[in-house]
Amino acid sequence: MVVKDVVGTLARLGLAAVWLVSGGLKAVDPEQAYLAVAAFDVLPSGAVSPVASALPFVELALGLLLVVGFGTRPVAVVSAVLLVAFVAGVAQAWARGLSIDCGCFGGGGAVAPSETRYPQEIARDTAFLALAAWLMVRPRTLLAADGLVGPPRRVTEDVAQDGV
């Protein structure tokens, strides 16, 4: 039990670090983030700008919630959805023969064909997906806000009523 809590805690903090670093690097360089999103060439051109400007902050928000350990399960679900979307984006770029950098941790955009690293990018995102999956199945972790705001305490309510 305790071992699983420790593993879960490491998964939570690890995924938090991933989101905070990736979101932070994108947030400080909005032009590069825009180029990275545009390079995937999947969104209609009107959607690139809103997605590119919102994405860094979605990642930062997920990171913050994971650090605090609040709503670990829903946050893990959203993380997994996002990671699956990233993997799909990289896979379609690979399949279509685009030569881009995913811009997962800053950078991104078109690169020379010899500089693409699709297998590594997909493997990395899959590893992050495993962290999210663990937290979806077993969101209980140590040092988490989730542990403080547990289920409603009917017990004390009952006692108080009896006392009257």
Partner 1 sequence: MGGAERAQRRRRQQQTAAKRPAKSSTVVQAARASTGSGGDRNRLLKGIIVVAVIAAVVIGGVLWQRSRSAPPDAAPVRTITAEYPVTIDGGVVVAGEGSAEVTVDVYEDFLCPACGTFEERDAAKIEQALAAGTVKVRYHMLNLLDQQSNPPGYSLDAAAAGVCAAEAGEFPSFHASLFGAQPREGGHGYTIDQLVQLGRDVGITGPAFESCVRDGTHADAVRAELESARTDPALRRPNPNGGDYFGTPTVVADGKLVDLGNPNWLDDAIGEAG
**Interface residue list for partner 1 (CB under 8 A):** 27, 30-35, 38, 45, 48-49, 52-54, 56-58, 60-62, 64-65, 70-71, 74-75, 78, 109, 112-114, 149, 151-152, 154-155, 158-159, 162-163
Compute the least distance from the CB of residue 3 to partner 1, in Å. 26
Compute the least distance from the CB of residue 88 to partner 1, in Å. 20
Residue (5 or 41) nearer to partner 1, CB: 41
Residue (62 or 132) nearer to partner 1, CB: 62
Instruction: Please say whether the beta carbons of 110 and 100 come within 8 A.
Output: yes
- Tally of CB atoms within 10 A around 141: 23
- The separation between CA 110 and the C-alpha centre of its own chain, rounded to angstroms, equals 24
Q: Which residues contact 14 (CB under 8 A, 6 or more apart)?
A: 131
For the CA atoms of the chain, what is the radius of gyration?
Answer: 20
